[in-house]
Amino acid sequence: MIWRTLVPIGMLLVLVVVLVVATGVIKRRATQDDEPGNSTWTLDQLRCMRDSGELTIQQYEHLRSRLIQPPPRGDADPPGGR
């Protein structure tokens, strides 16, 4: 009789743990690389993650803007001259 209560509660706890871990991994990957052009995903992958609910609209827009931002130009003088 007690198993009828404990099994669903256990399954719910496992689901919560999996969701928390997945959310942490996604957030870590989203904030890991702050350099433009150094992306882990393609635009299509970002769209799929947004559409499936893995990313919020704000996260999608932030990652999209970083992905499409052109790389920094390398022709600037280094500090202290040449």
Number of folded domains in the chain?
1
Within a domain: 60: yes
Q: Which domain holds residue 48?
A: 3-68
pLDDT digits (tens, 9 = 90+) for 1-19: 788 889 999 999 999 999 9
**Strand, coil or helix: 12:** helix
User: Does residue 77 lie within any of the structural domains?
Assistant: no
Q: Is residue 59 part of a domain?
A: yes
Residue 58 has pLDDT above 90, yes or no: yes
User: Which position has the higher pLDDT, 67 or 16?
Assistant: 16
Q: Is residue 41 part of a domain?
A: yes
Residue 73 lies in a domain: no
Helix (H) or strand (E) holding 63: helix 57-68
Half-sphere exposure of 3 (CA within 13 A, CB side): 0
Residue count of the chain, please give it: 82
- 63: closest CA among 37, 51, 73, 53? 37
Of 71, 27, 31, 70, give the one whose Cα is nearest residue 49.
27
